[in-house]
Chain A
């Protein structure tokens, strides 16, 4: 809002609730992408487990070409980003546009079809990676077929999002909507440019690496961060019961992220001209400003309260804290020689994925799913949150710390075999971390599946008389 009043609409309370119920009802189609996203999340963590085990016990599953490390690692990463994070992110952004614009979702049918095709695209992509038909570029490994389908479904989803945005009844824009608009624009531009310049009409030589690095930086700093910030800006004030602290800080944070976020992604020592590398490194430092602005804003909104009892707000608080940490770690990764090349680099990526984006999306899904299905139960809300938080601290933490030790040894004259030997303990720790992550992923999937099952039973009540269960009213389903 403009900040003119803290109450959004002047209509009476009853019609407000009705409107929200209508909005949520129109958004039921988003359960398709959300549920499929959680399935992909679990699949991704299975691949991540295999990858992690192979790091310290390379003999495991060594004879299977499809499950070699070079296949399972990109499969895990891409399944997470495209299967889970992007899909769930788009679904949540659509819901946010509806809620913040006080309008129902536009294009329910196309969204349903697009979601199905999105998952087909991801499936083709993952199978392509496992069978060796990879493009060879980081985070863009999907073969052409999968990527084309993905892009087509994104186009439909993006258009529906824009139509929903245009149909809004609230003229004023809340910061979350800025981030959603920006993200919806950034992703197709990044993805199209990268695929065009790398796969369709490839550029020559190390320019491919430059475009790839630019894309990966955009993917993390612009696309995934925008999804996270849209979620955080929505849920933190809402669940804290307080208005967002400062509009000016939000404006500063948004525009400085937009201006600087596209740069970056390069670290010291790359085989690129010195100006590109130093510009990228400088941008990574300047990103501290949007980071500080956003963290300050949201932290002051929460009133700096450390809620002792677990609640959904915990997801978003932790996500915010991890966002701040990852911004700082990114600077180290860019400046300390070889640090990005060690386990630290990979740990930082996973930290951002699970710790920042994952936690924010989990919180949003935990809030969203009961409201979309109309079924109320809060099983596993705390469990999934705790498992993810502890799991990522162990998993990414092991890699981050192990990476520092590895870097120390790499820049000295320690023989290489000895360098990797000394990281074995951290590699084993990371497997434990992933197991915890898997439990967390399974927990949220189980919860949402349970909600869907309950909801389906409610729907099927009309269709099949003998299957009518006893207690199905939403109020009664709450335990």
Chain B
């Protein structure tokens, strides 16, 4: 330990190990990832136009220091959905009474006969779901198991499934974030699709979320005198947030870009590495049942 060159070599060797393990090897794996072909087309697609400019505004304003863009997942469960009854409805009904006593078998069979698939079991493990599916197949019915990701983030409606490398493929710079002083934004475009809500929120978050600690981004807006007529883009503010009489608040281009970017954020495409409730799905055009966790996603909670 008294020779500089030896220490240097040792330090070099150990450091190269970490570089190899956490930079080089991952680059070969996720760094060379390509887009995936999914049921709904190629995923991901590049953001275009206003949303792409909005991403630059997002980065320049340092939004990543409060908002993360990583949906996390702790587990998964299965539902079983009866898709068709086949030719022997009575036998199917009997089997249902046996395996799914919690549901009204006759009602289910009737609804399925009317071409509306119904869930018969919720929150079961994969083995049970497959078992049920097989026994229903043997009586001529057809059942599918529905895969449901579970997690605290899903329960909050912050995303239907976890985020994976494919979701960030075209982002630069990737804003995964290490801080949740504000809610996660990966799926905000689906949660809050209304651009007006975003503009109000950016102007002063307290207008739409009382008690929020998010700073007000008023410098993204212009308060100007109302011309002959109020501008159609002017924000509808009231109470203490409203501007002086004769003035209106209009979003600048940056605000509109940022709102467009936020509207473009969503993670609801099913992937091989991140399965999702719609995958396998019941045929579209039918009254597809709402998966248990997705119900929470419908509540308008930011």
Q: Point out residues on A near B: beta carbons under 8 Å.
A: 2, 54-56, 58-59, 62-65, 68-71, 73-74, 132-138, 165-166, 171-173, 178, 181-182, 185-186, 189, 193, 197-198, 202-211, 214, 218, 222, 251, 255, 258-259, 261-263, 265, 269-273, 276, 279-280, 337-338, 340-343, 345-346, 410-413, 415-417, 420-421, 424, 427
Contact = CB atoms under 8 A, between A and B. Distances in A.
B62 A69 contact: yes
Given A68-B61, A341-B177, A413-B156, 12 more contacts: A64-B219, A189-B15, A189-B19, A255-B14, A258-B11, A262-B15, A269-B73, A271-B71, A271-B163, A271-B167, A276-B26, A345-B179
For the side of the interface on B, what is the size category?
35 or more
Interface of B: 1-4, 7-8, 10-12, 14-15, 17-19, 21-23, 26-27, 29-33, 59-66, 68, 70-74, 152, 155-156, 162-183, 205, 209-219, 301-302
Closest 9 CB pairs of A and B: A70-B62, A262-B18, A136-B173, A132-B60, A269-B72, A136-B59, A258-B14, A341-B180, A207-B31
B21 A271 contact: no
A260 to B, nearest CB: 8
Contacts of B162: 271
Nearest to B170: A205
B260 to A, nearest CB: 18
Nearest to A343: B181
Given A136-B175, A271-B167, A271-B176, A178 B68 contact: no
28 contacts: A58-B213, A62-B215, A63-B216, A68-B219, A173-B3, A182-B11, A205-B30, A205-B33, A205-B174, A207-B31, A209-B168, A210-B23, A222-B15, A251-B1, A258-B10, A262-B19, A265-B22, A269-B73, A270-B176, A271-B71, A337-B74, A338-B152, A341-B179, A410-B152, A410-B180, A413-B155, A413-B156, A420-B213
Contacts of A342: 180
Contact of B21 (A74, A138, A263, A420): A263
A186 B60 contact: no
A205 B31 CA distance: 7
The dominant DSSP class at the A interface is helix
A460 B21 CA distance: 56
Contacts of A59: 216
Contacts of B68: 341
A182 B164 contact: no
A73 B152 contact: no
A70 B66 contact: yes
B190 to A, nearest CB: 16
A134 to B, nearest CB: 6
A128 to B, nearest CB: 11
A135 B174 CA distance: 11
B165 A272 contact: yes
Nearest to B175: A136
Most buried by A among B18, B171, B209: B18
A185 B16 CA distance: 12
Contacts of B209: 417
Contact of B11 (A65, A181, A343): A181
Contacts of B168: 205-206, 208-209, 271
Contacts of B3: 173
Contacts of A337: 72, 74, 152
Contacts of A210: 22-23, 26, 30
Contact of A259 (B8, B17, B218): B17
A49 to B, nearest CB: 15
Contacts of A251: 1
Contact of B219 (A65, A193, A207): A65
Nearest to B209: A417
B173 A74 contact: no
Contact of B212 (A71, A193, A420): A420
B8 A185 contact: yes
A145 to B, nearest CB: 16
Contacts of B17: 259, 262
Contacts of B219: 63-65, 68
Nearest to B296: A413
Contacts of B18: 214, 218, 261-263
B169 A137 contact: no
Contact of B22 (A137, A258, A262): A262
Contacts of A341: 68, 177-180
A411 B156 CA distance: 9
A416 B178 contact: no
Nearest to A54: B215
Contacts of A272: 26, 30, 165
A59 B219 CA distance: 13
